[in-house]
Amino acid sequence: MADEWVPDILGKGFEQLTLPLGVDGLAGPLVATLVRSIPNPALAWTKPLGDVDVLYVHGWSDYFFQTELAHFWTARGARFHALDLRRYGRSIREGQTRGYVDSLDEYDTDIEAALQAMGHGADAGERKRKLVLLGHSTGGLTLTLWAARHPGRAQAVVLNSPWLEFQIGAVGRHVVAPLVGMRARVDPRGTNPQVDFGYYTRAQTEIGSLPVDGYREEWRPERGFATNPGWLEAVLRGHRQISKGVDVGCPALVLLSAHSASPLSWTDAATRADSVLVVDDIARMATKIGKLVTIGRIDGAIHDIFLSRAEPREEAYRVLDIWVRATLR
């Protein structure tokens, strides 16, 4: 049974709910954490998205702290929820391997627990409120695959730089996948070589997009969590599924930077481009996730579009506002 809603670290207007998920065989209790920001119900019904619920899922080595994103939705009447998945952020418990899963399908339990708490459980019957799934990076990959396995549950999917393809492309993915799979079978929780040099975090710092209140560096380290063979195999398996084509079963908006920057050395371009993903490859893969997909390329945006400089961030919110109003009317 879920605990009670309590005040969240983000302060006034935000609450969190712990969602028990069972037991981690190596480290005790396993939980996810749902954060919510709810508009004034007396006024929400007058707003364009007054009948909308949003579920946000973060990316790798990340957690929810983007209050501006929540305010975008609540200002339009929507109920905003964000999920810190098992072994991330608010859900980390002592002794756990951060971010680890053997399969992205494991997150079905986390997502279902969150939807149940939101009133969108599988057994909820006919729903009067619309559901929007909003995912960033690895969270975008996770939600895309979940929506394809659960058609009809969501009325819209919004993806913020979703990790739909490996950084070395489809050919490179085919080459490394057997090697990763072999190591995953022998040592799934071993440590892969560190490939994050901290330039993405440096870019956000230089832009000034990381908040002071509610930000926890220990949950979002400068160079990211250590990665593991079992986790990487799970991601590559997800990429392979996307490459074959899936259907999220509803309209989808994919927001991407207009350009990529090298993750291997620091340049000022990292403050105006995606230094994590090859965005042209992601744009191509985005055409494989459904029958009605809109791709928005935002000039000057970084990997998390909503942590970019003011001008690209405002453009992203403008595109999102137009698309959401048209899609959910």
Longest CA pairwise span in the chain (Å): 57
Whether 70 is in a domain gets the answer yes
pLDDT higher than 60, residue 238: yes
Cα separation values, 120 from 113, 275, 328, Å: 10, 35, 17
- Residues of the chain with pLDDT > 70, as a percent, come to 98
Nearest to 296 by CA among 264, 327, 329: 327
Surface-to-core class of residue 288, CB atoms within 10 Å of its CB (0-12 exposed, 13-18 middle, 19+ buried) = middle
Q: What is the pLDDT of residue 214?
A: 82
Q: What is the pLDDT of residue 127?
A: 72
**CA atoms of 177 and 259, how far apart (whole Å):** 26
**Per-residue pLDDT band at 233 (split at 50, 70, 90):** very high
Mean pLDDT of the chain: 94
Q: Mind listing the pLDDT tens digit for each residue in 254-266? A: 999 999 999 989 9
**CA atoms of 268 and 104, how far apart (whole Å):** 34
Q: Could you tell me the pTM of the whole model?
A: 0.96
| Domain enclosing residue 279, as ranges | 6-328
Whether 243 is in a domain gets the answer yes
Q: What is the pLDDT of residue 126?
A: 66
Whether 256 is in a domain gets the answer yes
Whether 280 is in a domain gets the answer yes
Question: Any idea which residue has 């729903």 for tokens?
Answer: 127
Q: Assess contact for 52 and 328: CB atoms under 8 A.
A: yes
Whether 262 is in a domain gets the answer yes
Its sign, for the CA torsion 185, 189, 193, 197, is: positive
Nearest to 13 by CA among 55, 56, 57, 73: 73
- The CATH number linked to 188 is 3.40.50.1820
pLDDT higher than 90, residue 53: yes
Whether 1 is in a domain gets the answer no
| Residues in the chain, total | 329
Average pLDDT (91-114) is 96
Q: Assess contact for 36 and 17: CB atoms under 8 A.
A: yes
Q: Mind listing the pLDDT tens digit for each residue in 123-143? A: 866 678 999 999 999 999 999
Number of structural domains in the chain: 1
Whether 154 is in a domain gets the answer yes
More confident residue, 176 or 237: 237
Q: What is the pLDDT of residue 176?
A: 86
- Strand segments, DSSP code E, in the chain are 6-7, 15-24, 28-37, 52-57, 79-84, 130-136, 156-160, 252-257, 293-298
Q: Mind listing the pLDDT tens digit for each residue in 196-208? A: 899 999 999 999 9
DSSP state of 75: T
Q: Assess contact for 132 and 252: CB atoms under 8 A.
A: no
Whether 206 is in a domain gets the answer yes
DSSP state of 297: E
